[in-house]
């Protein structure tokens, strides 16, 4: 069975990449990089560049709860640098759980793309119920109209109705964002196996031992992306974790199960458009 699945995965990837089989994708580190790129913040962005040589790194850039009013040269520099190092950068767009005006969200998308060379968007404060599904499928369609390869990463922070991925409203969904103590107590079946490779977790307040365990368990849980930090509330994303290097090394050894099972033309275009990472 393992041999059959391996051959199937290789065949799918060959079709996407024009005839050349590549190694299966690895688990990616998803970093809410909410530290300004100056002073110690610049050091953190440099650490992301360095990590991109070892493991997939996707950073979320948040200029001012969105794109801000004008281009910020400091952000432009780190966005360009991380992408050159092989990482990806997503622009932060909040949606107030479906209550924000769609035209304002689309204006944020347009402003980001006019100022920064991005790989997609992080849709924060995402609702999880079907009543708001149309709002998010519309935003998804709008983003894909700007580039089929742009990734749409949704953050409800909790499991959603399956339609959010099947419609779709996102390429990848963050099904958990919260405290390490809560993450450690999640019940079996919390992550829907039907969407293996299209789910992610963000965990804060975690010890080094918990980080090691959470990252190692990402593959059995079907996660494509994870971020674990020992930083704490009220803003657990203003610095990198103290064990950042260990997290990079741990993640580099973990595969991303189901990474070839992304459904929908937009998701397939995103996968096919991923840039190879530079090797040290």
Q: Are 278 and 48 in contact (CB under 8 A)?
A: no
pLDDT of res. 202: 98
Largest Cα–Cα separation, the chain: 54
C-beta separation of 224 from 27 below 8 A: yes
Q: Following DSSP, what letter does each residue of the chain receive, concatenated?
A: -HHHHHHHHHHHHHHHHTS---PPPBPEEEEE--S-SSTHHHHHHHHHHHHTTTSEEEEEE-SSSSS-SS--HHHHHHHHHHHHTT-EEEEEEE-GGGTS-HHHHHHHHHHHHHHS--SEEEEES---SGGGHHHHHHHHHHHHHT-TT-EEEE--SS---THHHHTTS-SEEEEEEEEHHHHTTPPTT-S-GGGTTSEEEEEES--HHHHHHHHHTHHHHTEEEEEE-S--TT-TTSS--TTHHHHHHHHHT-B-TTTT---SHHHHHHHHTPPPPPP-
Give this prediction's pTM.
0.85
In the prediction, which pLDDT does 179 show?
A: 98
- Predicted confidence at residue 26, as pLDDT, reads 82
Provide the 10 A C-beta neighbour count for residue 235.
12
Structural domains in the chain plus CATH codes? 25-272 (3.20.20.80)
Q: What is the pLDDT of residue 67?
A: 98
Q: Which residues of 86-108 are buried (b: 16+ CB within 10 A; e: fewer)?
A: bbbbbbbbbbeebebeeeebbeb
* pLDDT for the residue numbered 24: 52
Predicted local distance difference test score (pLDDT) of residue 265: 42
pLDDT at position 68: 97
**Residues of the chain under the 70 pLDDT cut:** 1-25, 257-280
Q: Give CA–CA dist 20/17, Å, rounded.
A: 6
């Amino acid at each position: 069975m393992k041999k059959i699945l391996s051959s199937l995965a290789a065949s799918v990837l060959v079709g996407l990449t024009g005839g050349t089989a590549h190694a299966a994708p690895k688990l990616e580190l998803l970093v809410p990089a909410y530290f300004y790129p100056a002073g110690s913040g610049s050091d953190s962005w440099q650490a992301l560049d360095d990590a991109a040589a070892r493991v997939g790194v996707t950073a979320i850039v948040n200029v001012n709860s969105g794109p801000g009013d004008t281009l910020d040269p400091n952000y432009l520099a780190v966005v360009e640098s991380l992408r050159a190092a092989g990482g990806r950068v997503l622009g932060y767009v909040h949606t107030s759980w479906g209550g924000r005006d769609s035209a304002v969200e689309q204006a944020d998308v347009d402003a980001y793309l006019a100022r920064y060379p991005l790989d997609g968007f992080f849709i924060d404060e995402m609702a999880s119920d079907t009543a708001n599904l149309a709002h998010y499928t519309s935003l998804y369609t709008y983003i894909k109209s700007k580039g089929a390869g742009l990734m749409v990463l949704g953050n409800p922070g909790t499991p959603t109705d399956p339609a959010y991925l099947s419609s779709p409203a996102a390429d990848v969904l963050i099904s958990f964002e919260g405290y390490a103590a809560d993450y450690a107590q999640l019940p079996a079946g919390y992550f829907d196996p039907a969407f293996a490779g299209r789910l992610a977790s963000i965990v804060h307040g975690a010890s080094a031992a918990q980080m090691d365990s959470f990252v190692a368990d990402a593959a059995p849980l079907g996660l494509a992306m994870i971020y674990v930090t020992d930083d704490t509330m009220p803003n657990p994303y203003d610095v990198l974790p103290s064990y950042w290097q260990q997290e990079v090394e741990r993640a580099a050894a973990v595969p991303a199960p189901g990474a070839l099972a992304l459904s929908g033309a937009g998701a397939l275009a995103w996968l096919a458009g991923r840039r190879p990472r530079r090797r040290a």
